[in-house]
C-alpha cells in the first residue's frame, strides 16, 4: 500500500476501535526481567496464559459472571505447541494457579485459516500494547485508543486490572493512570 492509503486505513480502523463497545484486558510479560528474577526456566507463553486467565477470572467476578463457562480462543501454533498449551491450560484451570480456584474456561484452538475477527484484533492490539512498555516515550496512537478500553477498578485504575505487566515494574506504561 502507498503511505496515503495506509494512513486512511489506520485512521478508519482507529475510529472503529474507538467507537466499539468492549472491555480490554492485556498481559505483557517482561521476558528480560523475568529471566533475572527466576531461577528455573519458565515457558513465557504459558505464563502469559495463566496470568491472563487469572485476570479474566477477576474481571468476570467483578461482573458476577465468574461461574459461567467462558470459551478461550487461541491461535494454533503447531501440533506439539498446541498439545503443550492444552495440557497447561487444563493444569491452570484445574486449580493450579495463584487464585487456587477451578476456572470455568474451555480452550478452543483455532487454525489461522479460520480468519477469526477476535484473533485478528488480538494481533492488532498486541504490538501497540507491547510497545507501550518497551518504548514508553514513543508516540503510540493505537495504544492511546486502546488504553481507554482497559478494564478499570472502582478508582479508575487500569494497572493490575485491564493492563497487567509481569513481573510488575515500578513505572507505569505510557498514558497509564
Decide if pLDDT at 173 tops 50.
Answer: no
Rounded to whole angstroms, the Cα distance separating 46 from 82 reads 11
The percentage of the chain sitting over the pLDDT mark of 70, rounded to a whole number, equals 94
- Cα 125 to Cα 145: distance, rounded to the nearest angstrom: 10
User: Which structural domain, as residue segments, surrounds residue 20?
Assistant: 3-166
Is a pLDDT exceeding 90 seen at residue 175? no
User: Are 177 and 157 contacting, i.e. CB atoms less than 8 angstroms apart?
Assistant: yes
Q: Is 176 inside any structural domain?
A: no
- Within a domain: residue 84? yes
Our count of domains for the chain comes to 1
172 inside domain: no
Whether pLDDT at 72 is above 60:
yes
Confirm whether 174 is domain-assigned.
no
Contacts of 55 (CB under 8 A, 6+ apart): 25, 27, 161, 164
C-alpha cell at 146: 486502546
Does some domain include residue 171?
no
For residue 17, what pLDDT band results from cuts at 50, 70 and 90? very high
Q: What is the pTM of this model?
A: 0.85
Give a yes or no: residue 48 inside a domain. Answer: yes
pLDDT digits (tens, 9 = 90+) for 88-114: 999 999 999 999 999 999 999 999 888
**Does residue 98 sit within a domain?**
yes
Residue 175, in any domain of the structure: no
Amino acid at each position: 500500500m502507498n503511505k496515503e492509503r495506509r494512513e486512511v486505513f489506520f485512521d478508519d480502523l482507529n475510529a472503529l476501535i474507538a467507537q466499539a463497545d468492549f472491555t480490554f484486558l492485556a498481559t505483557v510479560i517482561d521476558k528480560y526481567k523475568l529471566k533475572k528474577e527466576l531461577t528455573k526456566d519458565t515457558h513465557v507463553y504459558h505464563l502469559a496464559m495463566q496470568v491472563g486467565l487469572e485476570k479474566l477470572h477477576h474481571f468476570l467476578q467483578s461482573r458476577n459472571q465468574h461461574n459461567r463457562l467462558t470459551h478461550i480462543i487461541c491461535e494454533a501454533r503447531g501440533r506439539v505447541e498446541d498439545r503443550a498449551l492444552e495440557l497447561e491450560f487444563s493444569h491452570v484451570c484445574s486449580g493450579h494457579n495463584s487464585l487456587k480456584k477451578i476456572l470455568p474456561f474451555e480452550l478452543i484452538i483455532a487454525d489461522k485459516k479460520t480468519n477469526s475477527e477476535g484473533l485478528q484484533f488480538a494481533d492488532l492490539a498486541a504490538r501497540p500494547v507491547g510497545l507501550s512498555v518497551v518504548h514508553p516515550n514513543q508516540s503510540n496512537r493505537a495504544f492511546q485508543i486502546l488504553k481507554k478500553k482497559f478494564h478499570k477498578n472502582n478508582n479508575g485504575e487500569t494497572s493490575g486490572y485491564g493492563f497487567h505487566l509481569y513481573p510488575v515494574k515500578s513505572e507505569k506504561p505510557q498514558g497509564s493512570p
